[in-house]
Chains A and B, each alone.
Chain A
């Protein structure tokens, strides 16, 4: 009776220790996923700040340009339309950072906006009065600086998303991710502007 009982106790103790080890590891893994998810959401907030700054600058830009380039009505209207589309897309993305449709929509909308803006810049080259206007120069300078900051913040966001996605897919964290519904996060990709019309954005 004595030795069998001892063996039983030892086996039980080993099982308990192993079980505790697994539980501890699972807790650590879960916390890491949560931390990484918060990190990319915070990183998106950085982009959001810069985007808002940009969306606020653009109407000023359009107003300033309107006085000088009355004939290029279409170009200015395109910019305003693209800006509004991008604004709506950014609101959706801010509500759900990392969500696939929201990020893709935002990327497409931003690319469209960049396209119309570059067209506006090309057009305004032909109007030296506009180019020399102090307000215009200051606004374009701020716009460029904001775009640089967006690029930087986007890089940070994409880095954080990569780290999160990797941890999510790696074994054994993928078990935890599946069990607790940690969905994949989407990178934010903004293509270089091309000469094209405002993109069709789907809100399905």
Chain B
């Protein structure tokens, strides 16, 4: 299933979520109503029979099953509690993935860490980020958890975070870690993380009632008066009925998460081509016994649908399981698995136990000559650039393969040491980004550096000047990976430093009077991902389901791409016409090649912003059209490929490197 189908499916799932949620609330109201009615009637009867003499002129109280005031009161009360609970939780999650990670007690791992376990984890994440085209997510570790578990959270690939337990870092080998992180990246690419976050917000409201009941019971227990037994009874009622709510919440979690876990396992193996990694991790979880993937944190239950393995105690009914059984998950890749888990020793020194050998031979390794081709191509002017045809672009989007992973590892390792080290330090990452947009012309560059010193300080200027030779020699296809790594480090700037950085970047790009399309898109990627970190994550709300209102914006993008590839007017028109049909727009849309004033940087910016809010199918058609515009001369050059990848990133569609 391709990336766009997955995204559309994920969006549809949220509608099911709303439906289940309404069902749950609808079940709660009658339950409450009956309970309150019984209590109320009981109190009435009690009062009547106790103070019979006062009511001698009235008959016994009439009880009827339908009591409108109570019904409305109960309905409003339930809706209010559930509504406020959900609203509170959704608000508290508004900063995206990092809110969830910190809720679970996660500690952010610095990109320039010295600890070898953390470094290993970050390296694995870096390789996957470069291979899949997802910007480097922030990685958190839950220090207090010794089990093996992990989760990914966020609204879009750009603000996703990955959190692992300390047990993961210490017990799993590198291959197994890759399997687990691959599973989490699959969640990010399949659009699961957004559903999960919304799920957290909604079911918290349902669970609220049980929580309120518990609080009421605990607080009232101390001040009981015998003649006023209403409040404790109310507490018990809330608690009992609240557990109906919890039951429904668990049902919803289970229904939405179980088959996605199988899917994520499969995607992970597709990605790493190493079933031994993920089966090894699952076996180690089994080998740790009861507590294998259990999390001790109080909030674990709210997130139970998001974890890699089962994070809370086994529920009573099979229907309530958020994860398929371990043995079943292993048997998908190893049908001969006998259900016996090898015992895992938890070494006190913190060294990971030996990797569990797979019982099936691993798939054949990628031939090694590929490595030399890649490293030769890192420096511009090495071996021939890869020849890419337009029709390979779309299938690979959101579907990275083991080839991409290998490529990413070798590309990362062949980056110059200075660049690699700089990309991991917040201060130096700033200099790296500046170095990427410095002018080729020496005089202009000197001017830019002088301005840089005024704006960001002498240290940054020196570093940018030092990095410029390495950066300018790097091939076109190394720029986006460098940026991916740098973004990871830049997320650790303080808000003030970020302001300085974005201001300086803006100035730098405008300072040479001519803004190249690639420069502009680079800036857009950087600022977009960092803005979601510093100015609050925005939830992607789809506004456009039809391409007709977006036709002008599509024209801008395609025109800009056509002009970036050639200077000749005929060629430009030809390129535009090659791509336009793929938009599949109705015949009366205003689609046409624009003059160069009409698709300048500002127009492109606005167009991309608007297009980011379009439905997945529209984005799919647009990217296909872009690929054909860029490949109209028969082949896609490296620089054009990177431009295409960059545009995809601004549309929240991560595209792996084109190899």
**Interface residues of A, Cβ cutoff 8 Å to B:** 20, 23-24, 27-28, 31, 34-35, 38-39, 42-43, 45-46, 49, 52-53, 56, 148-149, 152-153, 155-157, 159-160, 163
Q: Contacts A27-B88, A27-B92 hold; do A156 and B108 have CB atoms under 8 A apart?
A: no
User: Is residue B427 contacting chain A, with contact meaning CB distance below 8 A?
Assistant: yes
B428-485 interface with A by 8 A CB criterion? 428, 459
**Interface residues of B, Cβ cutoff 8 Å to A:** 84, 87-88, 91-92, 95, 99, 102, 107-108, 110, 112-114, 425-428, 459, 492-497
A34 CA to B419 CA, complexed, in Å: 35
Contact of A152 among B88, B92, B110, B426 (CB under 8 A): B426
Q: How many pairs of A and B residues are in contact by the CB < 8 Å rule?
A: 60
B114 touches A156 (CB 8 A): no
8 A-B pairs with the lowest CB-CB distances in the bound complex, closest first: A156-B494, A159-B494, A152-B427, A159-B496, A42-B108, A49-B110, A160-B494, A31-B92
A38 touches B102 (CB 8 A): yes
Contact of A153 among B102, B426, B496 (CB under 8 A): B426
A45 CA to B139 CA, complexed, in Å: 14
Q: Contacts A46-B492, A149-B425 hold; do A31 and B91 have CB atoms under 8 A apart?
A: yes
B112 touches A148 (CB 8 A): no
Which chain B positions have C-beta within 8 A of A163? 495
Which chain A positions have C-beta within 8 A of B84? 20, 23
Which chain B positions have C-beta within 8 A of A39? 494
B426 touches A46 (CB 8 A): yes
Other A-B pairs, 17, CB within 8 Å; known A46-B426, A53-B114, A156-B492: A24-B88, A24-B91, A27-B91, A35-B99, A38-B102, A49-B113, A149-B428, A153-B426, A153-B427, A155-B497, A156-B426, A156-B496, A156-B497, A157-B494, A159-B494, A159-B497, A163-B495
Q: Contacts A31-B92, A152-B459 hold; do A46 and B497 have CB atoms under 8 A apart?
A: no
Offer 10 A-B interface pairs, CB within 8 angstroms, sorted by A. A27-B88, A27-B92, A35-B99, A46-B110, A53-B114, A149-B425, A152-B459, A155-B497, A156-B426, A159-B494
CB distance from B89 to the nearest CB of A (A): 10
A156 CA to B500 CA, complexed, in Å: 12
Q: Contacts A20-B84, A38-B102, A45-B110 hold; do A156 and B493 have CB atoms under 8 A apart?
A: yes
Which chain A positions have C-beta within 8 A of B114? 49, 52-53, 56
- Closest B residue to A28 by CB, please name it: B91
- Closest A residue to B114 by CB, please name it: A52
Q: Chain A at the B interface: mostly helix, strand, loop or mixed?
A: helix
Which chain A positions have C-beta within 8 A of B107? 45
- Closest A residue to B92 by CB, please name it: A31
Q: Contacts A27-B88, A42-B492 hold; do A35 and B110 have CB atoms under 8 A apart?
A: no
Which chain A positions have C-beta within 8 A of B110? 45-46, 49
Most buried by B among A24, A35, A53, A156: A156
CB distance from A18 to the nearest CB of B (A): 14
A49 CA to B107 CA, complexed, in Å: 14
CB distance from B153 to the nearest CB of A (A): 15
Which chain A positions have C-beta within 8 A of B497? 155-156, 159
- Closest A residue to B108 by CB, please name it: A42
Which chain B positions have C-beta within 8 A of A153? 426-427
Which chain B positions have C-beta within 8 A of A45? 107-108, 110
CB distance from B112 to the nearest CB of A (A): 5
CB distance from B314 to the nearest CB of A (A): 32
CB distance from A145 to the nearest CB of B (A): 9
- Closest A residue to B426 by CB, please name it: A46
Which chain A positions have C-beta within 8 A of B102? 34, 38
Which chain B positions have C-beta within 8 A of A24? 87-88, 91
- Closest A residue to B107 by CB, please name it: A45
A188 CA to B610 CA, complexed, in Å: 44
- Closest B residue to A157 by CB, please name it: B494
A27 CA to B89 CA, complexed, in Å: 10
- Closest B residue to A45 by CB, please name it: B110
A38 CA to B161 CA, complexed, in Å: 15
A156 CA to B426 CA, complexed, in Å: 10
A157 CA to B497 CA, complexed, in Å: 11
CB distance from A94 to the nearest CB of B (A): 11
Most buried by B among A42, A52, A153: A42
A49 touches B91 (CB 8 A): no
Contact of A149 among B87, B88, B427, B494 (CB under 8 A): B427
Which chain A positions have C-beta within 8 A of B494? 39, 43, 155-157, 159-160
Contact of A148 among B88, B108, B426, B459 (CB under 8 A): B459
A155 CA to B84 CA, complexed, in Å: 40
A135 CA to B496 CA, complexed, in Å: 37
A163 CA to B534 CA, complexed, in Å: 13
Which chain B positions have C-beta within 8 A of A52? 114
Which chain A positions have C-beta within 8 A of B112? 46, 49
A152 CA to B114 CA, complexed, in Å: 18
Most buried by B among A23, A46, A155: A46
CB distance from A147 to the nearest CB of B (A): 11
Which chain B positions have C-beta within 8 A of A148? 427, 459
CB distance from A13 to the nearest CB of B (A): 11
Which chain B positions have C-beta within 8 A of A157? 494
- Closest B residue to A27 by CB, please name it: B88
A51 CA to B99 CA, complexed, in Å: 28
Which chain A positions have C-beta within 8 A of B92? 27, 31
CB distance from B104 to the nearest CB of A (A): 12
Which chain A positions have C-beta within 8 A of B492? 42-43, 46, 156
A42 CA to B110 CA, complexed, in Å: 8
CB distance from B96 to the nearest CB of A (A): 11
A35 touches B95 (CB 8 A): yes
A45 CA to B492 CA, complexed, in Å: 10
A43 CA to B498 CA, complexed, in Å: 13
CB distance from B307 to the nearest CB of A (A): 22
A53 CA to B425 CA, complexed, in Å: 13
A52 CA to B119 CA, complexed, in Å: 15
